[in-house]
Structure 1
Amino acid sequence: MALQLGNLRVETPVVLAPMAGITNAAYRRLCLEQMGDQGADGLFVCEMITSRGLVEGDAMTMSMLTFDEAETVRSVQLYGTDPAFVGKATEILCNDYGVAHVDLNFGCPVPKVTRKGGGGALPWKRGLLAEILDRAVKAAEPYGVPVTMKTRKGIDDDHLTFLDAGRIAQDSGVAAIALHGRTVQQAYSGVADWDSIAELVQHVDIPVLGNGDIWEAADALRMVEETGVAGVVVGRGCLGRPWLFRDLAAAFAGETVATLPSLGEVAAMMRRHAELLSRHMGEERGCKEFRKHVSWYLKGFRAGGPLRHSLALVDSLATLDTLLAELDPAEPFPAAELGTPRGRQGAPRKHVVLPEGWLDDSDGAGAAIEEDIAAASGG
């Protein structure tokens, strides 16, 4: 089962969702290595960047556009609310960075994004959505680069947008649409609605990718079977578990593999992750970036509080080696953690922060809101 996105063929229909501060070049390389062990591939998307930041040469934005030498297929998610910026940024990615795939974010639920009419709020403005998609597709077309989009069900249960978004995406020449089965109001709480994903599959002719509550490889297969999606997008399920991509590759190849690494094997993965971060960022910054991953890697293991605390303050690879040596390498993987949510969950928002009057007109091109330079999150 391969995923075809325009001229781009992905043999294993699995996409690593862009996550702010997580899916940098080091983490993408780490996940790619897991699939490589199975002789498979996938699509590993860079952290979301803003179109205005790229066009204006913002230093932080440019620093995020770093790729590992092992990444033969470069994929970037782009955020924007201004069609001109999105179109120009798409052209820059294709021409200057050799990107093979551009994904557009219309799913981010973060208030500082939705209050500007961006992310998951934007598809409510069907005219604006159509114009942005049209600009991006036309900018990428001369380079043969497929453009996809990611969205959510809608702003809330009373303002659903995913079916209109699917139709607009198809009419605009978008290669595929990914749907997170939650509303913006839900953020990451509750259970993803896979029925809405199945409904979108029936509604459009372009490939649909499903996102939400894929914690194990078996969940991915079940989503394909229950919804008819052409592929899956994996986000929080791989936090502290990059070997999930090994399981996904095996599952889509028809093998029944569930990786249950010992704590010693997890420690080796942690060391590899920190090593890759240090290679790309320098050791001091790389170790600081690694700290946020410690609790995810050790979730469910018996590692004591003081050791966890020390690992969360690690400042060098040498210190990391010393601390990892204190872990019990024979401790088995905590099977109780399988199939359980990882990362942020939280509660539904009382209300979604939107620009004044945003819901009054769903056909317009949106308000005159200045696009942000800095990226915020994913969807």
Structure 2
Amino acid sequence: MVTSVPSPTATLQLGSLRVPTPVVLAPMAGITNAAYRRLCAEQGAGLYVCEMITSRGLVEGDAVTRSMLVFDDLESVRSVQLYGTDPVYVGKAAEILCAEYGVAHIDLNFGCPVPKVTRKGGGGALPWKRGLLAEILESAVRAAAPYDVPVTMKTRLGLDEDHLTYLDAGRIAQETGAAAIALHGRTVAQAYSGQADWEAIGELVRHVDIPVLGNGDIWEAADALRMVAETGAAGVVVGRGCLGRPWLFRDLAAAFAGESVATLPTLGEVRAMMRRHAELLAEHMGEERGCKEFRKHVSWYLKGFPAGSTLRHALALVDSLATLDVLLAELDPEAPFPVGELGTPRGRQGSPRKRVVLPEGWLDDTDGSGAGIAEESHESSGG
């Protein structure tokens, strides 16, 4: 239970955009679609960011990219994360998002650690090129300015311990007019392994005047409050911690409002949440595809709960809402929440990488002005 907070009226100001609770849902590929964002928003206030899309894909009208830009009818604040390595494409994409999709916030991804992204100089590799980073940020900020849409960026500590970039990235973000910078306290080489370095987040807070959002190892509401208290961050970005636990945003909203937090749902309540999730997916994608998309969430929802392997397997193959209802009815609604799962990592973790995959000669200089690497029209990896 959490009973104390940094401020009972904590909010997050990103340029002209006011977020009632200083909590941002991290974009996650294949996860943070319109249905999941709606599900989380039903739990508590925050900023719910769309899956990452590519600037080139958007500009060139790629069908897959455009299909990802779907918003729920009740999604009044549209937030999108944009990936790109070319300042021209990023600027054009930012203008399209503002003019055609009515977005209220654009986040630029400079944190993705996936090799197929970093080998092209994108994601977490790009901040090594300080000049290119500045050009991309300037282009996006300039394109969004007429629409009064704030542009933020997300990054990591650096490529590895020997090639840190976060302090320079913060300075560049501030100089180019970014409204905030989110820092995941891991290097690209770490990916999602080990522990996030919150001390570095605090160092960045002291280094810049724009808001800094902390990301990494926020599994419970108490972790978010502790991060803000220890680092001075203006808010938090939550990713893996909410997998199979959308009610985490209820806890976070309550915690930042100064209220006590104790959401330990029974399996019956989790069962209802699973049904709501599948229902929303079906509404947005059609029942067959929605059920297929739901399958990946089953293991996260049931983590630690008593549910036999046969039932888990059947749920992971569900193909209709009717079948889902039959299977969910087999779960024991009185089973208590597995408290042993509190505060433990969720989702992908893995091991640190021996080396970061980069374009040839990428480390030769730290400028890279005008040296954008050609990006694909569609990338499915998230940051």
TM bucket, shorter chain: over 0.9
Is structure 2 residue 41 aligned with structure 1 residue 23? Answer: no
Report how far residue 367 of structure 1 moved: 4.0
SS at match of 1:102: strand
Report how far residue 116 of structure 1 moved: 0.1
Is structure 2 residue 264 aligned with structure 1 residue 228? Answer: no
Which residue in 1 is equivalent to 2:123? 119
Which among 12, 28, 33 is matched to residue 3 of structure 1? 12
Cα deviation per residue 1:127-172 (whole Å; 9 max; x = unaligned)?
A: 0000000000000000000000000000000000000000000000
Between the aligned partners of 2:339 and 2:208, the Cα distance in structure 1 is 39
Which among 292, 314, 318 is matched to residue 314 of structure 1? 318
Report how far residue 70 of structure 1 moved: 1.1
Is structure 2 residue 337 aligned with structure 1 residue 328? Answer: no
How large is the Cα RMSD of the aligned pairs?
A: 0.7
Cα deviation per residue 1:287-339 (whole Å; 9 max; x = unaligned)?
A: 00000000000000110000000000000000000000000000000000000
Q: Aligned letter for 2:38?
A: R
Between the aligned partners of 1:280 and 1:300, the Cα distance in structure 2 is 29
Which residue in 2 is equivalent to 1:295? 299
SS at match of 2:137: helix
Which residue in 1 is equivalent to 2:266? 262
Is structure 2 residue 43 aligned with structure 1 residue 34? Answer: yes
Indicate if the aligned counterparts of 1:110 and 1:376 stay in contact, CA closer than 8 A: no
1:339-358 aligned at under 5 Å gives the runs 339-358=343-362
Report how far residue 371 of structure 1 moved: 1.1
SS at match of 1:85: helix
Which among 180, 195, 198 is matched to residue 176 of structure 1? 180
Between the aligned partners of 2:145 and 2:120, the Cα distance in structure 1 is 29
Q: Which 5+ residue runs of structure 2 have no aligned equivalent?
A: 1-9
Which residue in 1 is equivalent to 2:243? 239
Between the aligned partners of 1:42 and 1:258, the Cα distance in structure 2 is 19
Q: Aligned letter for 1:336?
A: G
Q: Aligned letter for 1:18?
A: P
1:39-54 aligned at under 5 Å gives the runs 41-54=45-58
Which residue in 2 is equivalent to 1:14? 23
Q: Aligned letter for 1:17?
A: A
Q: Aligned letter for 1:255?
A: E
Which residue in 2 is equivalent to 1:129? 133
Report how far residue 365 of structure 1 moved: 2.0
Indicate if the aligned counterparts of 2:218 and 2:238 stay in contact, CA closer than 8 A: yes
SS at match of 2:192: coil
Indicate if the aligned counterparts of 2:158 and 2:187 stay in contact, CA closer than 8 A: yes
Indicate if the aligned counterparts of 1:201 and 1:228 stay in contact, CA closer than 8 A: yes
Indicate if the aligned counterparts of 2:86 and 2:372 stay in contact, CA closer than 8 A: no
Cα deviation per residue 1:258-282 (whole Å; 9 max; x = unaligned)?
A: 2100000000000000000000000
1:38-187 aligned at under 5 Å gives the runs 41-187=45-191
Between the aligned partners of 2:127 and 2:60, the Cα distance in structure 1 is 25
Q: Which 5+ residue runs of structure 1 have no aligned equivalent?
A: 36-40
SS at match of 1:156: coil
Between the aligned partners of 1:204 and 1:43, the Cα distance in structure 2 is 22
Report how far residue 376 of structure 1 moved: 2.9
Q: Percent identity?
A: 83
Which residue in 1 is equivalent to 2:3? none
Between the aligned partners of 1:343 and 1:367, the Cα distance in structure 2 is 35
Between the aligned partners of 1:304 and 1:57, the Cα distance in structure 2 is 45
Distance change (3 Å), C-alpha of 1:143 and 1:265: same
Distance change (3 Å), C-alpha of 1:368 and 1:180: closer
SS at match of 1:150: strand
Report how far residue 372 of structure 1 moved: 1.5
1:360-371 aligned at under 5 Å gives the runs 360-365=364-369, 367=371, 369-371=373-375
SS at match of 2:282: helix
Report how far residue 377 of structure 1 moved: 2.1
Indicate if the aligned counterparts of 1:125 and 1:366 stay in contact, CA closer than 8 A: no
Q: Aligned letter for 1:67?
A: F
SS at match of 1:105: strand
Report how far residue 89 of structure 1 moved: 0.1
Indicate if the aligned counterparts of 1:277 and 1:289 stay in contact, CA closer than 8 A: yes
Report how far residue 368 of structure 1 moved: 5.3
Between the aligned partners of 2:376 and 2:164, the Cα distance in structure 1 is 25
SS at match of 2:30: coil
Indicate if the aligned counterparts of 2:85 and 2:372 stay in contact, CA closer than 8 A: no
Indicate if the aligned counterparts of 1:13 and 1:231 stay in contact, CA closer than 8 A: yes
SS at match of 2:106: strand
Indicate if the aligned counterparts of 1:175 and 1:206 stay in contact, CA closer than 8 A: yes
Aligned residues: 374
TM-score, structure 1 length as denominator? 0.98
TM-score, structure 2 length as denominator? 0.97
Between the aligned partners of 1:366 and 1:188, the Cα distance in structure 2 is 30
Structure 1 runs of 4+ aligned residues shifted over 4 Å read none
Report how far residue 366 of structure 1 moved: 6.2
Report how far residue 364 of structure 1 moved: 2.4
